[in-house]
A and B are shown apart, each in its own frame.
Chain A
Amino acid sequence: MTTTLIDTAAHSAGYTDKLLLPHWAEIVKIIPEAEGVSTFHFKFTDLEVQARYRFEPGQFNMLYVPGCGEAAISMSSDLETSGGLLVHTIRHVGNVTRAISRLKVGDVVGIRGPFGTSWPLDAIRGMDVVIACGGIGLPPLRGAIYRIIRDRARYGKITLLYGARTPRDLMFPVEYEAWKKADIDMQVTVDRGDDSWTGRVGVVPMWFYHFRVDPHKTAVLTCGPEIMMRFVIYEALARRIPSDQIYVSLERNMKCGQGACGHCQQGPYFICKDGPVFPFRALENIFNVEEY
């Protein structure tokens, strides 16, 4: 046989694409937020990576601690506000996030991303926006809040419904005054108050009982425990807000971020690439299916 059988060009292409290869990023600042929650500011050690890194609020990164593994964490700011740093607010509850809690300024983690869909900040221009979130569901929306504030005149009435278990579990309380000044109606509620708490006690979806919305020009952005989102969606639909104006951010186990490893499937979707942010219309047939 004289001819060579092998297409060497196709075969020797090499590892030009970096499957699951993270970039190292150094911790430049750590801000404790609440018990078991801290905000980390990262800067890529490779300046070229740092210079070209972009993302949209609502997207997430895979954060890697060598020897420990990866966790999917949303960005909790935007690059304009953070001066180009990557900001992640992390609740230390799993293997990887607990390992991150033990890191100090100057330590590095691996970062892959950004992955997934973002909040539809262009599509909802001109509308009233209800941002409904609970607990650690506020950080993935903070970047969107910053964007809306910077572009405030382009949006209608903005309401932030935010609930936490106790006053001490509220994220970013020092920013609430600034958000109020930017004409955001702050509706903060807790499950259990303490001696100093004078605000509302109750759950987030109850807000809908007290206020009127104009369904045709209202968009809802929600992120938080699924049970909270379920009732936010229920109340929003009951007020005739169309299901394609309700945006939901879902959480599932994720390993790759690229719709390849299979873990984050829910129905036909890979939450990591088709989500995490979905218009509820896309989820109508699957969101309430138990254990799906």
Chain B
Amino acid sequence: MTDKTLSVGSTVTLPKPELDLLLADLRKNGYQTVGPHLQNESIVYTKIDGLKDLPRGILSDQKPASYRMIQTGRDRYFDFIPANQSWKQFLFPPRHPLFTAVKEGKWRLIENEEPTPRYALIGVRACELAAINIQDRIFLREDFSDPIYRLRRAGLFILAVNCLDPDATCFCVSMGTGPRHVAGFDLCLTEMDEVFLVEVGSELGRSLLADRTFDLPSAFVQTAASQAVERAARSMGRFMDTSDLPDLLTNNLDAQRWDVVSKRCLSCTNCTLVCPTCFCWDATDQVDILGKSTRRERVWDSCFNPNYSFVVGGNTRPNIRSRYRQWLTHKLGTWKPQFGVLGCVGCGRCITWCPVGIDITEEVAAIRVEVKS
């Protein structure tokens, strides 16, 4: 049976090899296809051409301060969760030119005219899409609209994937962000043994499929897919109680736990770099050796950098205790009054990539225990 009247909300089956055709169509339409790729023993998001570049038969085993790849040999492409990097690098680049100032007698400003790349993100998880929606609230506000982010966001194609096999560091269910995609994607895959189920999420997604014919999934396959996602929701590696956030943190700035965690935290900034919602940035000048021209760039910054809170007369957060407290009370506290939501989606990256294995869920729980006792 084939579906001639594909519409938003339809689900069709896609034989796995045909994913290559979808990606080719996206490239034909001017998109750069970026997705997961096994590189240096971890999964990165980078330019991919098709199935051959995806991490086939690879599972990630993540624990605090530990990330290991496991080969399963299965014909699966999206079993790993989550990649070490997030998608924010494509919408909010780690380094981006703002302008160049040239001294020709007096200083002259040359605006950055680089064309904006158009990305098709292949394999966006529900927590990751939630993170993009959170960054939308930061970069696309009524009183501030970031041109770099806005143009990249407007040109985005999102090929989402439902997670079936959460890792030990995952807690998207606690944060209400996953594992099932609900909205905001163009197409959404659920990976079965033989086929992908493809749900159409937008007119843009529908138009990508419009010229092909697809089989409709059998009731059996649809039920199996649905059950697989439900199983994933029940097998979260971690849990975070959000019922008393943000007050639990913002009302306990003097908790002992800040001292405890600050003895472990190295202030290395890893958590902020892998976090899909962290948005802090700095602007720096790259000067040519003659001092006649300078390129001003926006670069990622982190509240764990000592310079981050430098003012004349000293650093307002000279100690790691106050930097960690700032990060956590912002992410799970003051983020809410600022942007209307908490700043954590439960992807677990900060747990995996912390070199000393500080666990955000454990820290929140420990503060709760301390306060209630």
Tell me the A residues contacting B by CB distance below 8 Å: 1-7, 10-11, 13, 15-22, 24, 45, 66-70, 91, 93-94, 108, 110, 225, 251-253, 255-256, 258-263, 265, 267-268, 270, 273, 289-292
Query: What are some 11 contacts across the A-B interface (CB < 8 A)?
Result: A4-B29, A10-B155, A15-B112, A19-B146, A19-B148, A24-B106, A70-B283, A91-B312, A256-B283, A260-B139, A260-B281
When chains A and B are docked, how far (Å) is the Cα of A10 from the Cα of B301?
29
Q: Which residues of A contact B369 (CB under 8 A)?
A: none
B248 within 8 A of A: no
CB-contact partner of B144 in A13, A93, A252, A260, under 8 A: A260
Partner of A1, one of B29, B31, B287, B308: B29
Nearest chain A CB to B246 CB, angstrom units:
9
Pick from A94, A262, A270 the residue with the most CB of B within 10 Å.
Answer: A262
With beta carbons under 8 angstroms apart, the residue of B143, B279, B294 that contacts A273 is B143
Q: Is the CB of A1 within 8 A of B25?
A: yes
Bound CA span A5–B321, Å: 49
Q: A1-B210, A24-B107 are in contact. Are A67 and B287 (CB under 8 A)?
A: yes
Answer whether residue B285 sits at the interface, using C-beta atoms and an 8 A cutoff: yes
> Chain A residues with Cβ under 8 A from B116's Cβ?
11
Hey, which bits of chain B sit against chain A, CB under 8 A? 25-26, 28-31, 98-99, 101, 103, 106-107, 109, 111-113, 116, 118, 138-139, 143-148, 150-151, 154-155, 157, 204, 207-208, 210-211, 250, 253-254, 279-285, 287, 291, 294, 296, 298, 301, 303, 308-313, 316-319, 321-322, 325-326, 330, 334, 337-338
Q: A17, B29: Cβ atoms under 8 Å? A: no
Q: Interface of chain A, helix or strand or loop or mixed?
A: loop
Asked if B210 and A260 sit within 8 Å, CB to CB, the answer is: no
Given contacts A1-B208, A67-B291, A108-B107, contact A7 B147 (CB under 8 A): no
Known: A5-B157, A253-B311. A11 touches B118 (CB 8 A): yes
Tell whether, in the assembled complex, residue A251 and residue B311 are in contact, meaning their CB atoms are under 8 Å apart.
Answer: yes
Q: Are A253 and B281 in contact (CB under 8 A)?
A: no
* Known pairs A6-B118, A253-B308, A263-B308; A20 contacts B283 (CB<8 A): yes
Q: Which residue of B101, B301, B334 is within 8 Å of A261 (Cβ)?
A: B301
A108 vs B103: C-alpha distance when bound (angstroms): 11
- Closest B residue to A136 by beta carbon equals B312
For B321, list chain A residues within 8 Å (CB). 291
Question: B29's contact among A5, A270, A292, by CB below 8 Å, is which?
Answer: A5
B157, closest chain A residue (CB):
A5
Residue from B106, B296, B309, B338 in contact with A268 in the complex, judged by beta carbons closer than 8 Å = B338
Complex CA gap A211/B312 in Å reads 33
Task: Tell me whether A93 and B312 are in contact (CB under 8 A).
Answer: yes
User: Which residues of chain B have C-beta atoms less than 8 A from A256's C-beta?
Assistant: 281, 283
Tell which of A66, A94, A258, A290 touches B103, judged by Cβ atoms closer than 8 Å.
A66
Asked if B154 and A10 sit within 8 Å, CB to CB, the answer is: yes
Q: Give bound CA distance, A155 to B215, whole Å.
A: 79
Check A20 against B204 for contact (C-beta < 8 Å).
no
Q: Are A261 and B282 within 8 A (Cβ)?
A: yes
Given A69-B284, A263-B301, answer yes or no on A11-B151 (Cβ-Cβ < 8 Å): yes
- What residue of chain B has the Cβ atom nearest to residue A257's Cβ? B144
Within 8 Å by CB of B316, from A24, A70, A253, lies A253
Q: Which residue of B139, B145, B204 contacts A17 across the interface (Cβ within 8 Å)?
A: B145
Which residue of A3, A17, A19, A94 contacts B98 across the interface (Cβ within 8 Å)? A19
Which of chain A's residues have a CB closer than 8 A to the CB of B281? 255-256, 260-262
**B313 smallest CB distance to A (angstroms):** 8
Judge whether A262 and B303 touch: CB under 8 Å.
yes
Cα separation A236 to B310 with both chains bound (whole Å): 29
Establish whether residues A13 and B210, one from each chain, have CB atoms under 8 Å apart when the complex forms. Answer: no
Structural contact, A253 and B310, CB atoms closer than 8 A: yes
Partner of B309, one of A21, A252, A289: A252
From B302, which residue of chain A is reached at the shortest CB distance?
A262
Q: B311: which A residues are within 8 A, CB to CB?
A: 251-253
Looking at the complex, which one of A2, A13, A289 makes contact with B154 (CB distance below 8 Å)?
Answer: A13
A4: chain B residues within 8 A (beta carbon): 29
Q: Which residues from A are CB-within-8-Å of B144?
A: 258-260
B211 to chain A, nearest CB (A): 5
Chain B CB count within 10 A is highest, among A6, A91, A94, for A6
A117–chain B nearest beta-carbon distance, Å: 13
Q: A202: shortest Cβ distance to chain B, in Å? A: 21
Q: Quick one: given A258-B144, A262-B303, are A5 and B204 in contact (CB under 8 Å)?
A: yes
A251 to B280, CA, bound (A): 18
**What CA separation (Å) do A289 and B29 show in the bound complex?**
54
Bound: A69/B118 CA distance, A: 31
Q: Which residue of A lies closest to B31 (CB)?
A: A5
Contact present for B155 and A6 (CB under 8 Å): yes
Docked Cα-Cα span, A7 to B318, in Å, equals 47
CB of A270, distance to nearest CB on chain B (Å): 8
The answer to whether B101 touches A3 (Cβ under 8 A) is: no
- Pair B29/A21 contact, Cβ less than 8 Å: no
Q: Is the CB of A260 within 8 A of B146?
A: yes
A142–chain B nearest beta-carbon distance, Å: 20
Query: Apart from A252-B316, A263-B282, A268-B334, what are 15 other A-B pairs with CB-CB below 8 Å?
Result: A1-B25, A1-B208, A5-B30, A7-B154, A20-B98, A20-B283, A108-B106, A225-B313, A253-B311, A255-B283, A258-B144, A265-B334, A289-B254, A291-B322, A292-B253
